[in-house]
């Protein structure tokens, strides 16, 4: 067996830079921070003597930080060396978690959550560009999925572990641990991520101009509808599984871990498929997601079938992420950074919209499984836009100008 050069690991018998692990560490910390608060709401509400719905604003505050931070921080730092920007973003992430650990009031904790959310989208957007730049064109989606693997593993390992820690040591300790992960990420990026000797100049005007391309907006819309479909159902997994499938509340924690495992598998498979055939992989992932969500209306009534379906929702939903991220970067071409970061603002808007629409369906008396129909319809809309995007590709390829260039 051929010995690999130092600094490489083997994936599918082909080497990928070990620097991707540094990005994955940051993604792990960010993913854990984003989803951890859902399990801490009762403790936080009790300490600050507020209601659980009021404590839920700590989740919304983080999402708000992501939505605004992704384009603003990316735009503000677009001319700086990308490795330095990644380090700076993780320093902000670390500071936000330290502030959360020391929060003396609900308002201070809310401010800390917004601060911690600010670097989220920019990190994944800039990190995607950096990851794709470490490999050849035929490995970009795989490299991006390796970074996102940190985010998916956070749902399987990071969130449950930190939630367990909070039960024994208190919720403040969990944010202290996340700050340590932030420090580790800063060190790993500084040591492992290469700094290009001569990076091409980046202009903010060109980055903004990328949003003048219809295909960039179509890719963003596909991701928004697809992930909106995931969160329409996922947001109501607990009441759905306890009231329809008959699971106990404690067993739902295992189902959530199963969902995270599905995300991990789907992310890695989606990245590899996208490198082989980008648009067919997009059609398959978004279409498969819609089908699985529709089937969930039926399988939610059986415990085993429901568990399998939850895994598949996580897998098909997360498979879309590296595919869509690669598609956006492809269509933004020579100015992909801001568009790649905007994708994560779109994902967070999708989370909020999906949860809202799913809740409206339940509130309208359509039943606990009605969010699955909402999710399936949203995913079908995403598939329709993906097909439209592919049709535009074929039209452009067959145009006289395109033929003349061949």
Q: Rounded CA gap, 74 and 343, in Å?
A: 12
Q: Rounded CA gap, 307 and 206, in Å?
A: 46
Q: Are 17 and 135 in contact (CB under 8 A)?
A: yes
| pLDDT range class, residue 11, cuts 50, 70, 90 | very low
pLDDT at 110 over 70: yes
Of the listed ranges 215-229, 264-278, 314-328, 348-362, the one predicted with least confidence: 348-362
What are the tokens at 256?
């959530």
Q: Rounded CA gap, 85 and 65, in Å?
A: 17
In the prediction, which pLDDT does 270 show?
Answer: 92
In the prediction, which pLDDT does 92 show?
Answer: 96
Per-residue pLDDT reduced to its tens digit, 385-396: 999 999 999 887
Per the prediction, the chain carries an average pLDDT of: 87
In the prediction, which pLDDT does 352 show?
Answer: 79
Per-residue pLDDT reduced to its tens digit, 163-208: 788 878 889 999 999 999 999 999 999 999 987 655 556 677 888 8
In the prediction, which pLDDT does 1 show?
Answer: 43
In degrees to the nearest 10, what's the CA dihedral of 332, 338, 340, 341? Answer: -170
Of the listed ranges 88-97, 148-157, 178-187, the one predicted with least confidence: 148-157
Q: Rounded CA gap, 281 and 103, in Å?
A: 45
In the prediction, which pLDDT does 235 show?
Answer: 80
Q: Are 153 and 27 in contact (CB under 8 A)?
A: no
What are the tokens at 336?
């992909």
What are the chain's domains?
1-202 (1.20.1250.20), 204-406 (1.20.1250.20)
What are the tokens at 232?
């329409």
Per-residue pLDDT reduced to its tens digit, 215-225: 999 999 999 99
Among 264, 263, 238, CA closest to 249: 238
């Amino acid at each position: 067996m051929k010995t690999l050069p130092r600094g490489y690991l083997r994936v599918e018998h082909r080497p990928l830079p070990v620097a991707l692990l540094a990005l994955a560490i940051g993604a792990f910390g960010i993913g854990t921070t984003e989803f951890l608060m859902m399990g801490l709401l009762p403790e936080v509400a009790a300490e600050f003597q507020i209601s659980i719905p009021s404590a839920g604003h700590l989740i919304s505050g983080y999402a708000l930080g992501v939505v605004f931070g992704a384009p603003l921080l990316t735009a503000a730092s677009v001319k700086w060396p990308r490795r330095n920007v990644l380090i700076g973003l993780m320093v902000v992430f670390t500071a936000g978690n330290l502030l959360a650990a020391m929060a003396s009031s609900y308002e201070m904790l809310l401010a800390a959550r917004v601060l911690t959310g600010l670097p989220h989208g920019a990190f994944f957007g800039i990190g995607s560009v950096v990851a794709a730049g470490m490999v050849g064109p035929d490995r970009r989606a795989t490299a991006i999925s390796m970074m996102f693997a940190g985010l998916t593993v956070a749902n399987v390992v990071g969130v449950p572990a930190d939630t367990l820690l909070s039960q024994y040591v208190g919720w403040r300790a969990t944010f202290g641990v996340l700050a340590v992960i932030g420090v580790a990420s800063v060190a790993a990026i500084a040591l492992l991520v290469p700094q290009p000797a001569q990076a091409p100049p980046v202009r903010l005007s060109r980055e903004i101009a990328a949003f003048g391309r219809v295909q960039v907006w179509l890719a963003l819309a596909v991701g928004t509808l697809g992930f909106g479909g995931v969160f329409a159902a996922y947001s109501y997994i607990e009441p759905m599984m306890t009231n329809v499938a008959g699971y106990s509340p404690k067993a739902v924690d295992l189902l959530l871990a199963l969902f995270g495992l599905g995300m991990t598998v789907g992310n890695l498979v989606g990245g590899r498929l996208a490198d082989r055939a980008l648009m067919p992989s997009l059609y398959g992932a978004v279409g498969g997601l819609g089908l699985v969500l529709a089937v969930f209306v039926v399988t939610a009534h059986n415990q085993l079938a429901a568990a399998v379906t939850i895994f598949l929702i996580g897998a098909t939903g997360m498979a879309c992420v590296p595919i869509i991220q690669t598609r956006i970067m492809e269509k933004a071409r020579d100015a992909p950074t801001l568009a790649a970061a905007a994708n994560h603002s779109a994902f967070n808007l999708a989370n909020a919209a999906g949860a809202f629409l799913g809740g409206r369906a339940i509130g309208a008396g359509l039943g606990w499984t009605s969010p699955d129909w909402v999710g399936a319809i949203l995913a079908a809309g995403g598939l329709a836009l993906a097909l439209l995007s592919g049709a535009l590709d074929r039209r452009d390829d067959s145009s006289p100008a395109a033929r003349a260039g061949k």
